[in-house]
Structure 1
Amino acid sequence: MSILSTLLDQWKAGIDAHDPAAVAKLFTDDAIFQGLHPYSIGPAGVAEYYASQPLGMRADYEILETRQLSDDLVLGYLEVAFSFVDRPTLKVFLSIIARRNDSGWQFDHYQVSKLG
């Protein structure tokens, strides 16, 4: 689905460039963000989370499932491989909800899970 691919490509570019502010701009003001640390609400928590990630971390993703929930909401389920310069790649699953608003499409919900 091109809506999610466009948004996720921007997310990946921000992570790969270690640009927490660019990643944070992709989230709504009230987005629920659950990485591998306690959750936060809104872009400030997203920026803080990604600022704490190691330099050289990169993200590669594969969209596994999508659902158009409404004209302004899209659900995505994907597999993400976070690679590092000094440790093994971390594979996780990511559930996202993208919402269209006055700023365009942004993440409204983001939840990572490690399975297996």
Structure 2
Amino acid sequence: MSGTPRDEQDLRGLLDRWKTAVDAHRPEEVAACFTEDAIFQGLHPYTVGRAGIADYYRAQPLGMTAEYRILETRRPVDDLLLGYLAVDFAFTDRPTIDVHLGVLLCRTAAGWSIAHYQVSRLP
């Protein structure tokens, strides 16, 4: 993995909050990990903003969990952090979905938030 230990620590700090909220099926808490105007592309048509992100996660089945592994990080400037991840979304009633996830985090006065989220399905 490229980047620095600080990059990974900053990325994990936010993604662990995201994962905890996803695993507990708390869509409002998931959405709180994002900026107010975040661009979000999951496996359905994209949305912009926390309300659409909360709706997306609200529609996910109970029992869905996320396990992530950081593949790459880059910090183009101090207050932006790019992460590239492998994520396994597991379900209670169907096979796990393996995806790649690109996130762009921005640091605000309140801390790190996801400003862009892009999922790509693996072949």
Q: What TM bracket, shorter-length normalisation? A: over 0.9
Is residue 16 of structure 1 aligned with residue 50 of structure 2? no
Q: Which runs of 4+ in 1 moved over 2 A?
A: none
Partner of 1:63: 70
Partner of 2:91: 84
Q: Secondary structure at the match of 1:96?
A: strand
Q: Secondary structure at the match of 1:55?
A: coil
Question: Percent identity, aligned pairs only?
Answer: 58
Give the RMSD, CA atoms, in angstroms: 0.5
Work out which of the residue numbers 41, 51, 55 in structure 2 matches 1:34: 41
Name the aligned partner's letter for residue 82 of structure 1.
F
Unaligned runs of 5+ in 2: 1-7
Unaligned runs of 5+ in 1: none
Q: Following TM superposition, by how much is the alpha carbon of 1:30 offset from its aligned partner in structure 2, in angstroms?
A: 1.0
Is residue 51 of structure 1 aligned with residue 58 of structure 2? yes
Count of residue pairs the alignment pairs up: 116
TM-score by length of 1: 0.98
TM-score by length of 2: 0.93
Name the aligned partner's letter for residue 40 of structure 2.
F
Partner of 2:32: 25
Q: Following TM superposition, by how much is the alpha carbon of 1:102 offset from its aligned partner in structure 2, in angstroms?
A: 1.9
Question: For each residue in 1:80-113, what CA deviation from the matched residue of structure 2 results, as whole angstroms up to 9, or x when unmatched?
Answer: 0000000000000000000001221000000000
Partner of 1:94: 101
